[in-house]
Amino acid sequence: MSAVIQSSPIASPSPLAVGAHDRTIVFDGNRQVSLGRFLAQVRGVAAVLPAGRHAINLCEDRYRFLVAFCAVAVRGQTTLLPPSRAPAVIADELRRHADSYCIGDALLADPPPHFWRLPDVLPEQAGKPLSIDDNALVAIGFTSGSTGEPRPNPKTWRSFRTSTAQNLQALGDLWPKGTRPQLVATVPSQHMYGMEMSVLLPLLGEVAVHAARPFFPEDIASALRAAHEPRVLVTTPVHLRALVESSVELPTMAGIVSATAPLPATLAAAAEARFGCEVREVFGSTETCVIARRRTAREEAWTPLPGVHLHPQPDGSLVHAPHLATPVALADLVELTPLGFLLRGRQADLLEIAGKRASLGDLTRQLQAVPGVRDGVVFQLDPCQASGVRRIAALAVAPDIDEASILQVLRRGIDPVFLPRPLRRVDALPRNETGKLPREALLRLLQGDVQ
């Protein structure tokens, strides 16, 4: 194995992981895996990986995802992080990237092409400390597709190390100085937010992470009970709302971290009151990683992370950050303040009809605030061929009220030209694993009402 790792000189090596070999990196209700054993298994798996340039990591168990991700990086290969694990998406990325294979931890009835399954018992191998070239391309993340075609975003080991150091500064005051937090995450490792919080923090921040990805409130509570203090929950607004509305009791937590979708201040405040800890929202993207933070229950403005600067542009904002090789343009419109910045939506979300203006984000918030609406979204349809006008549509999860009642409430605060038509009640919105709503999925759900 050493010959594989050291086959070519590494000009600027940086550690794969930090901390003492006996510190816990992953845990669950039955085990505490030490960093030393983890590194031995990374060496062992790296020695038996298939040849190739790219790997799609489909592991569900977070520990096995960690082992596979690090083994792929040690072999000099790049992990692809598609926006979805749907078979068609996986097959498409395999076609787009030469010399690709899939790596997983389960027996699949219909495995994707070039599928390689991790051994049930992970091989272990002793060796020297593992390092990765700072310039190595270790991952390619893809945007979610919520606003169009997913776009690739390459990530080097240097950029991941730098952004992780910033994340530690953004979150480190949630737990007592000198302690080692144990983290439970409801988001998949394959998503960039999940990668940052549940993969890179345990590698580079002496943080331990639960091996599972709990979904239901009682599963989240069980995972948190398996953790030692200080406990941190990494989640999304969708999961957080389910926890607040449930009767489940959670153990003492040092903090809750939320991202992937806007977190309503009322929900943040309710969660803080219910669980007795701060809810800290982080803001970022696949393109930029996390770049800002705020305590949403008390703050409207976002505080940029150290070294991050945003420059407003006519169609969005330009982000400068230590972990970005070049400035990155985002579609988010921002307003700079003495305390940081305010988000003002996206240019693509701004609507102008008959000389009047509104935003899809604000319309969605008003829909979600209608009594009886449990979830909802307002979005634009494709332009009508005859007029070129883009109509506004909405989907609402509202089992106890009808569409007419919802529209009646919306009329009180929304100009008639911005009332969504059609508005359709559905059993659930087509949210993906992180709570986002891909546009194509919305259109498919609405299709029966669109003429």
The pLDDT of residue 2: 30
Domain boundaries, the chain: 2-344, 354-449
Angstrom CA distances, 444 to 82, 378, 430, stand at 21, 15, 10
3-state secondary structure of 179: coil
Q: Give residue 152's region: left, alpha or beta (phi > 0; psi -120 to 50).
A: beta
- pLDDT: is 144 or 365 the higher one? 365
* Per-residue tokens: 320: 């400068």
Own/partner contacts of 105-110, CB < 8 Å, gap of 24 or more, are 105/58, 105/59, 105/60, 105/61, 105/64, 105/65, 105/68, 106/60
Taking only the tens place, the pLDDT of each residue in 281-335 is 999 999 999 999 999 999 999 999 999 999 999 889 999 999 999 999 998 989 9
Model confidence pLDDT, tens digit, residues 105-128: 988 878 888 999 999 999 999 999
Provide CATH code, domain 354-449: 3.30.300.30
Task: Give the model confidence (pLDDT) of 253-283 as tens digits.
Answer: 999 999 988 898 999 999 999 999 999 999 9
Res 226 pLDDT > 90 = yes
Give the global pTM.
0.84
Q: Going along 321-407, which residue ranges are E strands?
A: 328-330, 332-337, 340-346, 350-353, 356-359, 375-383, 390-397
pLDDT of 186 above 50: yes
What architecture does CATH give domain 2-344? 3-Layer(aba) Sandwich (3.40)
For the CA atoms of 222, 228, 230, 231, the dihedral, rounded to the nearest 10 degrees, stands at: -20
Percent of the chain whose predicted confidence (pLDDT) is above 70: 92
Distance CA 430, CA 440 (A): 10
Portion of the chain with pLDDT greater than 90, in percent = 70
Q: Token pair 């054993």 is at which residue? A: 37
User: Averaged over 23-34, what is the pLDDT?
Assistant: 95
Mean pLDDT of 353-365: 78
pLDDT tens sequence across 404-430: 999 999 999 888 888 998 999 999 999
- Contact criterion met (CB below 8 Å) for 336 and 350: no
Q: For 381-410, write each residue's pLDDT tens digit.
A: 876 544 445 688 999 999 999 999 999 999
What confidence category does residue 227 fall into, taking pLDDT thresholds of 50, 70 and 90? Answer: very high
pLDDT class of 147 with cuts at 50, 70, 90: low
Looking at per-residue confidence, does 278 or 443 come out higher? 278
Q: Mean pLDDT highest for which of 23-37, 355-369, 435-449?
A: 23-37
Average pLDDT, the chain: 89
